[in-house]
């Protein structure tokens, strides 16, 4: 039975389409380790889904690092450039994306990553990522505020060649609580595929929570069935 009338789909990237979160962990620990610090989940979960400057500021504050957020990002740049191109797809991604594309469902990407980092991350998967009509990155001039503000999702929705009639016709896939908050603030439906370590209490705002994209049932949202 059709529960929602979805016409457009927007995907987050990190931790949802691409398995990049472990790469962030490696690079971050390389930087904080020499200061006797450990980058653990309690800090990471506060950073997830936020634009790089905000995320880095949380890290600096939480670990009391002797540097500014921008100094951290400068230190991380080389590590990210080295590791991001190795990113693999998360389970169920290729099947779902190609299915929606083959049925003419407009799809876009909305990520807090910079355009440069995004380009590095999709290195191994450019053919798949060409199926999206457009991507809005965190450094896009139209994105005044990062997640949990709705800017990135509203911008992504506005750039479809045929925009949705209402934001309630848009379905957003996210892995982070801040992303879910941003999409709901934009008036969109949400499917969350959280990291297994996230406290279940932090997933309750999503309209649907699944373990992997393999579990998603398009027909329940008014989309073509597999």
Is residue 98 located within the same domain as residue 148?
A: yes
Q: Is the pLDDT of residue 149 over 90?
A: yes
Within a domain: 191 = yes
pLDDT of residue 1: 37
Question: Is 12 designated active site?
Answer: yes
Task: Identify whether residues 139 and 170 lie together within a single domain.
Answer: yes
| Whether residue 139 sits in one domain with residue 74 | no
Tell whether 25 and 96 lie within a shared domain.
no
Residue 13 sits in the same domain as residue 114: yes
For residue 95, is it within any domain? yes
Q: Is the domain of 61 the same as that of 145? A: no
pLDDT band for position 49 (50/70/90)?
Answer: confident
User: Are 8 and 105 spatial neighbours (Cβ–Cβ below 8 Å)?
Assistant: yes
Name the domain boundary from 65, 85, 105: 85
pLDDT (average), residues 68-77:
96
**Same domain as 105, residue 81:** no
pLDDT score at 3: 56
Query: What is the 3-state secondary structure of the chain?
Result: CCCCCCCEEEECCECCCECCHHHHHHHHHHHHHHHCCCCCHHHHHHHCCCCHHHHHHHHHHHHCCCCCHHHHHHHHHHHHHHHHHHCCECCCHHHHHHHHHHCCCCEEEECCCCHHHHHHHCHHHHHHHCCCCEEECCCCCCCCCCCCCCHHHHHHHHCCCCCCCCHHHEEEEECCHHHHHHHHHCCCEEEECCCCCCCHHHHCCCCEECCCHHHCCHHHHCCCCC
Q: Are residues 114 and 137 in the same domain?
A: yes
**Where a domain ends, among 70, 85, 100?**
85
The domain boundary, picked from 85, 103, 125, lies at 85
State the average pLDDT over residues 6-12: 98
171 and 98 in one domain? yes
Q: What pLDDT does 6 receive?
A: 97
Question: Does residue 2 register a pLDDT over 70?
Answer: no
Q: Are both 134 and 75 inside the same structural domain?
A: no
The CATH number assigned to the domain holding 115 equals 3.40.50.1000
Q: Which of 5, 12, 74, 214 is catalytic?
A: 12
Span 139-165, mean pLDDT? 96
38 lies in the same domain as 68? yes
Domain count, the chain: 2
What is the pLDDT, as a whole number, of residue 48? 86
Residue 226 is assigned to a structural domain of this protein = no
* Same structural domain, 152 and 211: yes
pLDDT score, position 4: 78
The residue from 5, 14, 40, 74 that is catalytic is: 14
Domain containing 32: what range? 21-85
> Is there a domain that residue 3 lies in?
no
Instruction: Report the CATH number at residue 80.
Output: 1.10.150.240
pLDDT the model gives residue 211: 97
């Amino acid at each position: 039975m059709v529960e929602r009338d979805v016409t457009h789909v927007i995907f987050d990237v990190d931790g949802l389409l691409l398995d990049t979160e472990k790469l962030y962990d490696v690079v971050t620990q390389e930087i904080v380790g020499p200061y006797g610090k450990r980058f653990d989940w309690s800090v990471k979960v506060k950073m997830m889904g936020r634009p790089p400057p905000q995320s880095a500021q949380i890290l600096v504050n939480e670990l009391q690092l002797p540097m500014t957020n921008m100094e951290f990002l400068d230190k991380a740049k080389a590590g990210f450039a080295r590791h991001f191109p190795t990113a693999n797809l998360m389970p169920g991604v290729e099947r779902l994306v190609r299915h929606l594309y083959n049925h003419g469902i407009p799809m876009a990407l909305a990520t807090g990553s910079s355009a440069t980092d995004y380009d590095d991350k999709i290195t191994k998967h450019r053919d798949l990522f060409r199926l999206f009509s457009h991507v809005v990155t965190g450094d896009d001039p139209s994105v005044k505020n990062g997640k949990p503000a709705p800017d990135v999702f509203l911008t992504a929705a506005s750039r479809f060649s045929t925009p949705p009639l209402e934001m309630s016709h848009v379905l957003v896939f996210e892995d982070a609580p801040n992303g879910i908050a941003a999409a709901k603030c934009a008036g969109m439906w949400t499917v969350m595929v959280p990291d297994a370590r996230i406290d279940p209490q932090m997933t309750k705002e999503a309209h649907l929570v699944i373990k992997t994209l393999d579990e998603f049932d398009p027909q329940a949202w008014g989309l073509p069935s597999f």
